């Protein structure tokens, strides 16, 4: 059973470009979470999605950031008009069910975004 | 609201010595507590977790942690450090009905030969 897949592993963008980060959850998992890790810091929650629904986006910046998890295909984290401060590692995690039931989150290897 | 504090961003021990990584949390509701390990350029791997029941939790690679409600702590220990334990360790908390993990700032463990 393959783990959580993220691609690309490394992404370089110039200021003002768009960044698209993809996450394929583990087989059988329908819950996806995105976290951001700034240099020398811990992970910060961004958004929690189930298939076709955003459940909790309390950690998402209000502008330029969006996320989706379509019925078919991977979850996408999209950052428009990137700025240098967006440079970070973005981690995706998935779980098989509701967090309240104690379901563990499994993390992917991350996408390291560098904005020039 | 919840938060996690990891005391000591860097900890250095000798191979074979005791490992102690500190974690204190605050949570307005009974928490679920986690320790993750991150090796360079990799994702996070779960070491152990506390949900309910026994307060001493054993994890992978010989690590264990004890939930102490009175001290709001969940310190991670290992009796004898191995070179392969060198990594970054993150403590995290989640409200039992919550969606997200709240992470501490991490502790980088270095193991000297």
- 8 Å CB contact of A104 and B101: no
Nearest C-alpha neighbor of A29 from the set A104, A102, A90, A110: A104
Flag the least confident range among A28-37, A71-80, B5-14, B89-98: B89-98
Cα B92 to chain centroid distance, Å, stands at 7
Question: What mean pLDDT comes out for the span B9-21?
Answer: 96
A78 vs A64: CA distance, rounded Å:
8
Residue B41, pLDDT score:
76
- Does the CB of A107 have a partner CB in chain B at under 8 Å? yes
Angular region, B19: left φ>0, alpha ψ -120 to 50, beta rest: beta
**pLDDT tens, residue by residue, B38-76:** 998 788 899 999 988 889 999 999 999 999 999 999 999
Residues of B within an 8 Å Cβ radius of A: 4, 6, 32, 36, 41-46, 49, 51, 90, 92, 94, 96-106
Residue A5, pLDDT score:
94
Q: What is the 3-state secondary structure (H, E, C) of chain A?
A: CCCCEEECCEEEECCCCCEEEEEECCCCCCEEEEEEECCCCCEEEEEEEECCEEEECCCCCCCCEEEECCCCCCEEEEECCCCHHHCEEEEEEEECCCHHHCCCCEECCCEEEEEC
B38 vs A19: CA distance, rounded Å:
24
Give, for all 116 residues of chain A, the pLDDT tens digit. Answer: 578 999 999 999 999 999 999 999 999 899 999 999 988 788 999 999 998 899 999 999 999 999 999 999 999 999 999 999 999 999 999 988 776 666 788 999 999 999 99
DSSP assignments along B9-31, one per residue: SEEEEETTS-EEE--EEEESSPE
- Does the CB of A25 have a partner CB in chain B at under 8 Å? no
C-alpha pair distances (Å), B80 with each of B49, B61, B62, B113: 20, 11, 9, 12
SS3 B60: helix
Residues of A in contact with B97 (CB under 8 A): 99-100
Residue B78 pLDDT greater than 90, yes or no: yes
Residue B97, pLDDT score:
60
CB-closest option in B51, B100, B106 to A45 = B100
Residue B16, pLDDT score:
97
In whole numbers, what is the pLDDT of chain B averaged over residues?
91
Residue B98, pLDDT score:
63
- 8 Å CB contact of B42 and A43: no
Residue B106 DSSP one-character state: -
Residue B29 pLDDT greater than 80, yes or no: no
- Does the CB of A33 have a partner CB in chain B at under 8 Å? yes
Residues A4, A23 contacting (CB under 8 angstroms): yes
Residues A80, A64 contacting (CB under 8 angstroms): yes
- 8 Å CB contact of A45 and B102: yes
A42 vs B91: CA distance, rounded Å:
9
B102 CA: distance to closest CA in chain A (Å):
7
Residue B42, pLDDT score:
81
C-alpha pair distances (Å), A66 with each of A51, B71, B84: 15, 39, 38
C-alpha pair distances (Å), B46 with each of A54, A93, B37, B63: 25, 12, 7, 11
Flag the least confident range among A76-80, B3-7, B10-14, B26-30: B26-30
CB-closest option in A58, A100, A107 to B43 = A107
Number of inter-chain CB pairs under 8 A, A vs B: 61
B30 vs B39: CA distance, rounded Å:
30
């Amino acid at each position: 059973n393959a783990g959580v897949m993220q691609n690309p592993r490394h992404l370089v963008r110039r200021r003002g470009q768009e960044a698209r980060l993809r996450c394929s959850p583990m087989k059988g998992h329908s819950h996806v979470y995105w976290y951001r890790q700034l240099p020398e810091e811990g992970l910060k929650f961004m958004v929690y999605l189930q298939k076709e629904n955003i459940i909790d986006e309390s950690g998402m910046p209000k502008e330029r950031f969006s996320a989706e998890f379509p019925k078919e295909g991977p979850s996408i984290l999209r950052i428009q008009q990137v700025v240098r401060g967006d440079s970070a590692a973005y981690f995706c995690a998935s779980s098989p069910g509701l967090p309240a039931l104690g379901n563990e989150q499994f993390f992917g290897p991350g996408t390291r975004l560098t904005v020039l | 609201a919840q938060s996690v504090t990891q005391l000591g961003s860097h900890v250095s021990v000798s191979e074979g010595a005791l490992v102690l990584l500190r974690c204190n949390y605050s949570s307005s509701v009974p928490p679920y507590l986690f320790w993750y390990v991150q090796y360079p350029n990799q994702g996070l791997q779960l070491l152990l977790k506390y949900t309910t029941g026994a307060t001493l939790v054993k994890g992978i690679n010989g690590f264990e942690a004890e939930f102490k409600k009175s001290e709001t702590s969940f310190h991670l220990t290992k009796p004898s450090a191995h070179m392969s334990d060198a990594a970054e360790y993150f403590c995290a908390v989640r409200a039992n009905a919550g969606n997200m993990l709240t992470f501490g700032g991490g502790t980088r463990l270095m193991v000297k030969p």
